[in-house]
Amino acid sequence: MKSIRHMENVQRLVVKIGTSSLIHANGKINLQAIDQLSYTLTGLVNEGKQVILVSSGAIGVGMGQLGLAKRPREIQAQQALASIGQSELMTVYQQRFAVYGQKISQILLTHDVLDFPESRKHVHHTMEQLLEWGVIPVVNENDTVAVDELDHRTKFGDNDQLSAIVATRSNADLLVMLSDIDGFYTKNPHKFADAKLIDVLHEITESSLRQAGGAGTELGTGGMVTKLKAAQSILANNKMMVLANGANPSIIFKIMNNEPLGTLFVNAQKDEGKEVI
pLDDT in tens, 156-189: 567 899 999 999 999 999 999 999 889 998 887 8
204: pLDDT strictly greater than 50: yes
Please tell me the total count of domains within the chain: 1
- What tens digit of pLDDT does each residue of 69-98 get? 888 988 889 889 989 999 999 999 999 999
In order of 120, 131, 162, 164, 262, the CA distances from 117 in angstroms are 5, 21, 17, 18, 35
Evaluate whether residue 84 is within a structural domain.
yes
Residue 170 annotated as lining a ligand binding site: no
Domain interval for residue 107: 12-272
Average pLDDT over residues 184-212: 83
pLDDT at 272: 57
CATH code of the domain in which 137 resides: 3.40.1160.10
Residue 124 lies in a domain: yes
Average pLDDT estimate for 246-275: 85
Answer yes or no: is 3 within a domain.
no
Least confident segment among 4-8, 61-65, 143-147, 181-185: 143-147
Tell me if 89 sits within 8 A of 55, measured CB to CB. yes
Model pLDDT, residue 208: 75
- Tell whether 4 is covered by a domain: no
Residue 104 domain-assigned (yes or no): yes
The confidence score (pLDDT) of residue 78 equals 87
55 carries a ligand binding annotation: no
- Does the structure show a pLDDT above 80 at 112? no
pLDDT digits (tens, 9 = 90+) for 217-253: 433 444 788 899 999 999 999 999 999 999 999 999 9
| Weakest mean pLDDT among 41-50, 68-77, 139-148 | 139-148
Residue 150 domain-assigned (yes or no) = yes
- For residue 126, say whether it is annotated as part of any ligand binding site: no
In single-letter form, the type of residue at position 151 comes to D
Per cent of the chain over pLDDT 90 is 56
pLDDT of residue 190: 77
**Eight-state DSSP code of residue 40:** H
Mean of pLDDT values over 185-197:
84
Amino acid at 259: E
Q: Is 227 annotated as a binding residue?
A: yes
| 179 carries a ligand binding annotation | yes
Is 1 annotated as belonging to a binding site? Answer: no
Read off the amino acid at residue 225.
V
- Judge whether 248 is annotated as a binding position: no
155 labelled ligand-binding = no
Q: Is 42 annotated as a binding residue?
A: no
**Mean pLDDT for the chain overall:** 86
What confidence score (pLDDT) does residue 127 get? 96
Provide long-range contacts, Cβ within 8 A and 24+ apart, for 87-91: 88/29, 88/61, 88/62, 89/22, 89/29, 89/55, 89/57, 89/58, 89/61, 90/138
pTM score above 0.85: yes
